[in-house]
Amino acid sequence: MTIRAVVRGVGHYLPERVVPNSEFEASLDTSDEWIKARSGIERRHFAAEGETTSDLATHAARAALAHAGLQADDIDAIIVATSTADLTFPSAATMVQANLGMTRGFAFDVQAVCAGFVFALTNANALIISRQAQRVLVIGAETFSRIMDWQDRSTCVLFGDGAGALILEAQQGQGDVSDRGILAADLNSDGRHRDILYVDGGISTQSTGFLRMEGKEVFRHAIEKLAATAHTALEKAGLKDSDVDWIVPHQANIRIIQGTAKKMGLPMDRVVVTVQDHGNTSAASIPLALSVGVARGQIKPNDLLVTEAIGGGLAWGAVVLRW
Ligand code: ACO
């Protein structure tokens, strides 16, 4: 028998304030038409003043616990994927742990920018199959509105805030592709590309900084790398691109999402798309899309999913799981 990390529950949280594209027209030389046509984004949510990443993560965690029918103390470990934690330390994950009233287990953050959730899922899977944890709460949570340069129209219209959470549980499988749970993963990074997507501040420079991006270059890497990593992860699982029921991609740009589906030979009606409503929420975008995909009735038990993402680093990867 094989131990599998199987999804037990999912949930999400979006801050109350919805910002349509038209709101940027007052302060920037931009338009709803440009943003929609070049990115697919129509609106995004921004956190309220004083509302932090761990607050968003805690709401999403509570939703996932309720969906799973579990209590906080049923969880052995919390991993939060984020690049926008409340404080330099402690981790957002330990804040969530305290907020949930969880008095056992362990919690830590993972930082791989927009690919963070794929890295966190892979770590959670490793904890479960190595018997370090029976149940892991994996959260992607971000407040990218806090690192936007509001004068830079090429970045500030693209990002949003939000959180999504997934609970993975150890279950016995057969050891073949019919098993529910995580079947394979593929992780990559290449630090030579660190200058095309970064924040120009940080702890060592004693500043917060703003997100800087060479959009065209990131776009080029995304188109080249996302279908390849999804394909590799599927191959590791012993599956083909055509076996996939749902691609659940990182939601950065509809043109990247369409390009990746096309390269994989899959139609858009097998892709969960939320970019129009959330913008790019970095590490939160995949768990948000999973939760919305379930709520819409798109993702159903036993469906074969592939998630894929690329972000600053560059860091990129994919996870294959049967829901
Ligand atoms: N409104 C109007 N015009 C704009 C805006 C705007 N908001 N932003 C840029 N422009 C202009 C540019 O200045 C440029 O004008 P010019 O031709 O006079 O120089 C023109 O529009 C075209 O700009 P491009 O950058 O060539 O536009 P492109 O089609 O490449 O789209 C975009 C830009 C949306 C950023 C795209 O490149 C993209 O999505 N890149 C990838 C982003 C991504 O995937 N990030 C994922 C990782 S994020 C993370 O890890 C944190």
- Dihedral angle sign, alpha carbons of residues 224, 229, 231, 235: positive
pLDDT at position 86, please?
98
Query: CATH classification of 181-322 is 3.30.360.10, yes or no?
Result: no
Alpha helices in the chain (DSSP H): 32-39, 53-68, 92-99, 116-129, 153-156, 215-237, 254-264, 275-278, 285-295
- C-alpha neighbours within 13 Å on the C-beta side of residue 10: 18
Tens of pLDDT, residue by residue over 247-297, are: 999 999 999 999 999 999 999 999 999 999 999 999 999 999 999 999 999
Q: Which of 171, 174, 185, 238 is nearest to 4 (CA)?
A: 171
> From the CA atom positions of the chain, what is the Rg in Å?
18
Ligand 1 binding pocket includes 153 (Cβ within 6 Å) = yes
pLDDT at position 1, please?
81
Active site (annotated) includes residue 114: yes
Q: Compute mean pLDDT per 10 residues along the chain, 323 residues long, and list them.
A: 96 98 96 98 98 98 98 97 98 98 96 98 98 98 98 98 98 97 98 98 94 97 97 98 98 98 98 98 98 98 98 98 98
**Among 219, 221, 310, which is best to mutate for testing ligand 1, by the most ligand atoms less than 8 A from CB?**
219
**Sequence spans of domains, the chain:** 2-173, 181-322
pLDDT at position 13, please?
98
What class, spelled out in words, does domain 2-173 have in CATH? alpha beta
Q: Say how far apart CA 227 and CA 244 lie, in whole Å.
A: 13
- Whose Cα sits closest to atom 35 in ligand 1? 215
Coil, strand or helix at 130: coil
Ligand 1 binding pocket includes 282 (Cβ within 6 Å) = yes
Which candidate in 45, 67, 250, 278 is catalytic? 250
**Residue 55 identity (one-letter amino acid):** D
pLDDT at position 105, please?
97
Indicate if 181-322 has the same CATH topology as 2-173.
yes
**Among 154, 194, 275, 278, which is best to mutate for testing ligand 1, by the most ligand atoms less than 8 A from CB?**
154
Q: Say how far apart CA 85 and CA 116 lie, in whole Å.
A: 13
- Whose Cα sits closest to atom 12 in ligand 1? 154
Q: Which atom of ligand 1 is nearest to the CA of 250?
A: 46
Active site (annotated) includes residue 99: no
Ligand 1 binding pocket includes 266 (Cβ within 6 Å) = no
Q: Which residue has the tokens 């509809």?
A: 254
Active site (annotated) includes residue 231: no
